[in-house]
Chain A
Amino acid sequence: MSLPEVVQVMSVMLGLAVAQQSAEHLAGARDRLLFLPRLILALVLVSGWQQAWVTWALFAYGVVLLHRFDGPYNGGSDKMTLLITACLSAYHLAPDTRWQEMAMAYLAVQLVLSYFVSGYIKIIKAEWRSGEALCDVFRFSAYPVSERLRGWAERPGVLWLMSWAVMGFEVLFPLSLLHPAALIGALVVAGTFHLANACLFGLNRFFWIWLCAYPSLIWFQDRVLG
């Protein structure tokens, strides 16, 4: 895919993800007026009309929301939403192709870091290597979506295996850049990981927004090593 095609695909995906996020806020009366214009902007982004202006407007909107919620409303998923919007905004502002590529490469590198750093900071901790940390996530953290899921804390063997599967995948993720087929495989596994997090921990917004960044990495791999 050429860079303009990648940006086109990512813009549509970002528009859909932001529309999903915004629509959820329409359920509550207080923020309805704040999120309705964002929903409309997201749908306009999907349509492709005035793509640059709409992307810039969504970035500005992201800053307004940071002030409204005194930080991200939804932690890492809001940060990734803003990062993708910022990189697409920079792409549209860039004076030439080289700077456009830099904007997309920055996003691709951050995506790789999102897995590698997350795996690295776990694997250096004894409680993660022993599986105890993941047991604690299920036992008493606020993340499991149901009480029944807390029962998984009583299966330390399974959680030890899951801990190593997640940490191993995350720290080895950068190696997938060495071959296009390996990268596609790694992205399928990563998407499945986010899907599991959405089901078990209710992190549905992470699933959609991380998928939005994947085309940048496919382009980056091809541009740098292809």
Chain B
Amino acid sequence: MIAKTISLLLPALLPSWRFFKTVAASPRVELRVDAGDWQEARPIPERVGLARMARRLVWNPRRNEQLYMVSLSERLAEDGRDHARAELERLVRAGLTGGERFQFRLVFLQREGTQIVKFIDYESPVLPVAEHVS
């Protein structure tokens, strides 16, 4: 517990500040319900106007949840953390409005030469939409 606390705390007290050192492979979380087509779990809108940008300065919970899902995807891809998998499952499930079973997967986009290529890093098992139904 103490070792874990130290490992979590140190990056905040001795930050590296290496923002955007490289533009790494970028994750998207995709889902499908009842074996349907894959779609992005939290798609970004087509456009965000100035008024909405201003409002988001003080109230931006959905966008911050999206960014949290990006962090979780990177953690899951990096070291397969159970916490990241469980949190992604919870957040994807929370966004569902119907169906009985669903799956989610992590798709990464990255540059290869002049092309942007897409690869699947993780695919979940088929899961129940209702949390307590097996």
Contact = CB atoms under 8 A, between A and B. Distances in A.
Interface of A: 20, 23-25, 27-28, 30, 62-63, 66-67, 69-76, 78-80, 82-83, 86, 110, 113-115, 117-118, 121-122, 125, 127, 133, 136-137, 139-142, 144-149, 195, 198-199, 202-205, 207
B47 A137 contact: no
Contact of B75 (A25, A67, A71): A71
A202 B20 contact: no
Interface string B67-89: 11011000100000101100100
A195 B63 CA distance: 16
Nearest to A66: B8
Contacts of A79: 11-12, 15
Contacts of B26: 140-142
Name the 7 nearest CB pairs between A and B, nearest first.
A202-B63, A82-B12, A66-B8, A24-B61, A70-B83, A136-B23, A117-B17
Interface of B: 4-5, 8-9, 11-13, 15-23, 26-28, 44-48, 53, 56-68, 70-71, 75, 81, 83-84, 87, 90, 94, 109-111, 116
Contacts of B16: 117
Contact of B68 (A27, A69, A140): A69
Given A75-B71, A146-B48, A148-B46, A141 B56 contact: no
Contacts of A205: 60, 64
Contacts of B45: 145-147
B23 A127 contact: yes
Contacts of A24: 59-61, 64
Which of A78, A133, A140, A195 has the largest number of chain B CB atoms within 10 A? A140
B27 A142 contact: yes
19 contacts: A28-B61, A63-B8, A66-B9, A67-B5, A69-B87, A70-B83, A73-B64, A73-B68, A76-B15, A83-B12, A113-B15, A113-B17, A118-B18, A118-B20, A136-B111, A146-B44, A147-B45, A202-B66, A204-B57
A168 to B, nearest CB: 15
Contacts of B67: 74-75, 142, 202-203
B23 A146 contact: no
B18 A71 contact: no
Contacts of A147: 44-47
Contacts of B56: 145, 198-199, 202, 204
B12 A146 contact: no
A140 B116 contact: yes
B12 A74 contact: no
